[in-house]
Each structure stands twice: as C-alpha cells, then as structure tokens.
Amino acid sequence: MPYMPITESMFLIAETREQPMHVGGLQLFVPRAGQSASELAEEFVVRFNTCTDLDPLFRKRPATPATVMGYVAWSHDDDIDFDYHVRRSVLPRPGRVRELLRYVSLQHSALLDRNRPMWEVHIIEGLEDGRVALYTKIHHSLIDGVSALRMLQRTLTADPEDRNGSAPWDPALYRRAPKPSSSSSSSSSRIPDLSGALDLAGSALDVGGQIVGMLPATARIAWTALTNKDFAAPFRPAPRTMLDVPIGSARRFAAQQWSTDRLRDVAQQMGITLNDVVIAMCSGALRSYLIDHDELPDTPLIAAVPVSLHIAGAEGKDGNSITAILANMATDEPDPERRLQTLVNSMRESKRVIRGLSPLQALAYGAATIASLAFATVPGFVRYTPPQLNIIISNVPGPSEHMYWNGARLDGVYPVSVVMEGLALNITVTTTAEHVNFGLIGARKELPSLQRLLTHLDTALEELEKVANVTSSGTD
C-alpha cells in the first residue's frame, strides 16, 4: 500500500461534516449541430460508463477509512461501482441556470464516501437553453483544485471534428499527453496550452498543502531565511466580518461569466493586469454585499491572492514557485477609482516584495501569509482569534481557444472550491476562450443571498468601465 504524505492526509484529517474537503468543477457544453441535449447527455453517460480502465488516481481510496486507524496509506480499488460514481440528473423546470446552481449547491454540501475512490461525476440535463452540464467532484486529498480543472480539460480538444471524447479517468489521456512545456503554443494537440500557466498559478490550498507539508527542519530554514533579511511580513489585522465565522455544512454556489474583452479593455486602458480587474470587481461586489447586510467594516478586507512567480535564473517548471500575497481590498473606499488605485498599488507592492525574495523565502512568505488556515479546524480557533485574511480569490488561466468534447463546445467552466471555518466564501475565477468565469462558493446559512454578489460583480465591472472610460462591448 502506498504511503500517504501529510499533504494528502491533512485534507482527510481536517474534513468535518461542516467542512467537506472536496473540490469541484462545473462545465457547460453546447451540443453539436443536430444533436439534442439528451443525446449529448446520453453520449457522456455511455462514454463514461464504458471507460472502465481507470487512471490510478480514480481508483485510490484511503486504506483505512475510519479515523480511529489513522490515514497512513492509500489502497486502489479494481472494481468500480460506475452506477454510484457516474450520476445522471435532470433539473426541474424551468431549468434556468438558477436550478443548475441550486443543484450544484446541494451536491457540493455532501461528503464523499471514503470507502471507495473519492469522486463523482454528475451529467446534468434539463437546462432550458439546451446546454448540458457536467459537475465533477473529487476529494482534495487526491488532487488540488487547479489540477482538477486541468484534468477536466484533458478530455477536451480544440478540434470540433474530433470524436474521441473520453472520460477524465481514461488512462490513455495521460499517456497521450505531451510533456508540459511553458513555451509550446496551443495547436490541434488534445491538450491545450494550459500546462505552463497552471503550473505557475496555484490555488491557495496548494500553498496550504505546502505549509503543512514542510517538515519542521525545512520550515525552520525557510523562516530563518525570511527573518534574517529583517523583512517585515505585511500582516495587518484583517477586520472581522460575516466571512470569518464558523460554518455549517450547507453551501450556496453562484456562477456567472463576463466577456474577457470587457475586462481586457479596462485593464489596457488603466495599465493594469486582467487579474487586477478581477480583484477590483470582487472588491466592489464585496463592498456592496456587506453594505446590503449592514456589515461593512471600517477597515479594508484583506484577500489572499495566489500568484505565480517567474524567478530570474530559474528556468522551467521547477524554478517557479506558487505563493500567495495579501491584497488590501480597499472596501472602505466608496470611490471606485480610488478603490482600484489602492488595490492595484497593494498588489504591486506585494509582488515587488516577493520578486526580491529567494524562491525559498517566497515560499515561506506565502506560507506565512495563509498560515492561519492550518488552524481553521481547531475548535474555537476562528471564534477567538482575529482573522489574518477575509477571503481567498484565485484566478486560474484556462484554455485560450474554443474547446470541444466529442464535438460539443465547452461554453463555460466554473471552479467549485472549498470553504472553511473562518473563510466562509471562496471566489475562484477561470478564463475560457471568450469569457472570464466566476465561481463563488459560500456557506449557505452564514452568507444569505450569496447570489446577489453576481449582480454586484456586474455593477462593479460597469463602474470600472466608467473609471477607465471604456464602453461595454455588449451583452454577455
């Protein structure tokens, strides 16, 4: 039985019924010409159920599911109960996106069974707009959120005529995959040019994993490197808000996409990055949401933003580090222009500091930034300690061209992430050919009317367009 490192078992240990530790992805597909939604759904069902050779990742389960024995090893199942793992569902009428989000909300609240490989795929019909949705759920001990999204992309191709659509667990996909190279441009290869980008960016939980994964000796070296330079970590106390509370198990998922052109226009006009625009949209939306609930704190919210580092002299994948920076969200600032400026300055300053650090220091910086997350599962920790940060906002680059599964076009892909005690909301953003897709997952009871954040994000983008003096490039 393969040994289970602490970076994997920590997600089993930290998991409670209030805090499920699985990540998910919601993909939306438009059937190919002449194909009905139910034909496409049927195609998914048939292809998935007949792909009975599984990559080992999809056969892995904890050798000892009960906590009493500890989580020391993985075992692999040979016999997979497809009827359990692959689920076909139909949305109730009227089949709006709202019914889809509700379905994902409820499913994402439920724990995975630890006595079998910890994943599920839901093939969802009944959308009034004729699209078919796939909701995929996989335990965080098996894969991090970014890698999960990447794995889902592996079944796709840029070739609309390709009819080799397979299941995410098909081992052939992994054998066929070209070696990731950060300089390869996307072409007709099955694997889009995600690899480079995704190796660089990372979800905050990746960093979380790295912290806990550091052996004491490693951690001490990293910390020493950091403190020897007399570098003051930019820890300012984050305000206590409705985001920083113990949570129940129920979730609410909200998702919407905006045209990439709209965000890019703002970025170009203002001389900032697309990611700055994403964070600024979140800032404006969170401010409005907190005002709705009469909960806006006097001091600004602090967001952890995972960033990629291109470190001079270190070429290739291994020379890059995933880290996280803290951003001043400037939510206390009513004026959109000043809010944007404060936020962008804060992001730039943090990145400048990071770039001056060695890779080891940078890693330790990221670790220190979100160190408190490791304690989120200690009972009472959240209630009695001031928060270090209020929210994690991740931006994951997606495919830059249209992608297809068996001729059906991927129309949107939304990450469905993890929320934790003390971090009741997670925003993860991913980009596809033409859209920036926001996936918001939150604790259902603690964050009422979470879906209103979508309207507020839209308003925030309009405000930014006014600030940048660009006009909206039309409907989304």
Applying CB under 8 A, the residues found at the interface with its own copies are 16-18, 38, 65-66, 68, 81, 83-84, 87-93, 102, 106, 109-111, 113-116, 125-126, 246-250, 379-380, 444-445
Least distance from C-beta 88 to its own copies, angstroms? 4
- Residue 329 burial by Cβ neighbours in a 10 Å radius (0-12, 13-18, 19+): buried
Q: Which residue's CB is nearer to its own copies, number 93 or number 352? A: 93
Q: Which of 22, 85, 140, 456 is catalytic?
A: 140
List Cβ neighbours of 29 (8 Å cut-off, separation of 6 or more): 40, 131, 132, 133, 134, 405, 408, 409, 410, 411
Least distance from C-beta 422 to its own copies, angstroms? 14
The distance from CA 136 to its chain's CA centroid, rounded to whole angstroms, is 13
Least distance from C-beta 228 to its own copies, angstroms? 39
The Cα 126–Cα 57 span in angstroms is 31
Contact 35/408 with Cβ under 8 angstroms? yes
Q: Which residue's CB is nearer to its own copies, number 187 or number 449? A: 449
Distances (CA, A) of 452 to 96, 183, 286, 456: 16, 40, 10, 6
| Bridge-based pairing state of the strands 86-90 and 119-125 | parallel
Q: Which residue's CB is nearer to its own copies, number 249 or number 273? A: 249
Q: Which residue's CB is nearer to its own copies, number 55 or number 125? A: 125
Q: Which residue's CB is nearer to its own copies, number 10 or number 429? A: 10
Least distance from C-beta 58 to its own copies, angstroms? 16
Q: Which of 24, 6, 10, 68 is nearest to 377 (CA)?
A: 10
Distances (CA, A) of 402 to 42, 186, 335, 398: 23, 11, 37, 11
Least distance from C-beta 109 to its own copies, angstroms? 7
Q: Which residue's CB is nearer to its own copies, number 102 or number 264? A: 102
To the query of whether residue 76 is one of the catalytic residues in this protein, the response is no
Contact 103/28 with Cβ under 8 angstroms? no
Catalytically active residues are: 140
